[in-house]
Structure 1
């Protein structure tokens, strides 16, 4: 609710009005950046927690403010969250590889635990990536014209996660299960048009 409310008032504020016109609000991009930063902190603090069904909806509800937030959240909020997801991905894929190498099909309980870890990881990625994708879309031109260490690190970590995702059959299967169970239209979800499906 707060994301929709602040987005609406930002459009009527000083940053979105012609110079010299009186405004009925003082909501600025800085306010939206603070809210988005707090959403990312909450998300980061809850990554990997099994009982967090609200994470399936947070990306959808935060979409209205992402394009209006400032570009200064990359280093402080997006990179730490992405790094935490990257480390978790590396850990779970390494556990999967170790299990494949060690077992002869007799360790079914360990396999189920890894599948559960992949399921939570998929939920976390679907909570974070739509926000990240929208944020990158808003800043991509500047980063391509003036590359910096933070944007380069962002793209490197995203690539590392996708490479591991593509190599793991269990990861891909759990992602497909997540998409089907939550009736996600990936294209609509990522463009903000999938609100109805992800808000259940």
Structure 2
């Protein structure tokens, strides 16, 4: 509980400090597309949340019944289902990115950056959907605080990557997508360690 509250407080604090900095560097119009891309992704997440929540329950029950074969079967099936969902969502998202300037009103000088931003945000989402099933380890072992600690490290790392990106490169909206994707992939390494600790 304490780890979750600390993670929440740090995330809010980072958002309050980092958002004005990003808006100042890339402009309000470009930053608006970061929120729009994240909104697209959150709608797509609705499809994956139900599957992974149900799978987490079944994996946990099978694990605590000491039926490893059944738990592994549920785990493998969830991983495969997530892979299929990624393929289906990718098929839907490719035309959205290709014709984004027809769907959404984008200033001509921002079209390339906004499309790149959407590509990185969508790609990050696809990779995180595949990795979602790994998070069941902390739930199964009743060590959810480890997940909060990993998320805390992720929040700090994302703010560092945003700051470095805007410091060393020209300010562009796509850097928000790139640093988010790199942050999540780095966080996957941290979480893999956390889930391995939870499983032991």
Q: TM-score, normalised by structure 2?
A: 0.30
Structure of higher RCO (CA pairs closer than 8 Å, 6+ residues apart): 2
Q: TM-score, normalised by structure 1?
A: 0.30
